[in-house]
A and B are shown apart, each in its own frame.
Chain A
Amino acid sequence: KAGVTQTPRYLIKTRGQQVTLSCSPISGHRSVSWYQQTPGQGLQFLFEYFSETQRNKGNFPGRFSGRQFSNSRSEMNVSTLELGDSALYLCASSLGTANEQFFGPGTRLTVL
Chain B
Amino acid sequence: QQPVQSPQAVILREGEDAVINCSSSKALYSVHWYRQKHGEAPVFLMILLKGGEQKGHDKISASFNEKKQQSSLYLTASQLSYSGTYFCGTPGGATNKLIFGTGTLLAVQP
Interface residues of A in 88-105 (CB under 8 A from B): 90, 92, 94, 97-105
Given the complex, which residues of B lie within 8 Å of A101, measured CB to CB? 32, 44, 96, 98
Distance in Å: Cβ of A96 to nearest Cβ of chain B: 8
Complex CA distance for A57 and B40, rounded to whole angstroms = 25
CA distance A33 to B96 in the complex (A): 7
- Could you say which interface size class chain B belongs to? 20 to 34
Chain A residues touching B, range: 20 to 34
Cβ of B92 and Cβ of A45 under 8 Å apart? Answer: yes
Contacts of B89 in A (CB 8 A): 43
For residues 81 through 108 of chain B, which have their beta carbon under 8 Å from a beta carbon of chain A? 87, 89, 91-103
A residues in contact (CB < 8 Å) with B: 4, 31, 33, 35, 42-45, 48, 50, 55-56, 58, 90, 92, 94, 97-106
Q: For the A-B complex with A100-B55, A105-B41 known, give 15 more contacts whose Cβ atoms are closer than 8 Å.
A: A33-B96, A42-B87, A42-B102, A43-B103, A45-B99, A45-B100, A56-B97, A94-B96, A98-B91, A98-B94, A98-B96, A99-B47, A100-B32, A100-B44, A103-B42
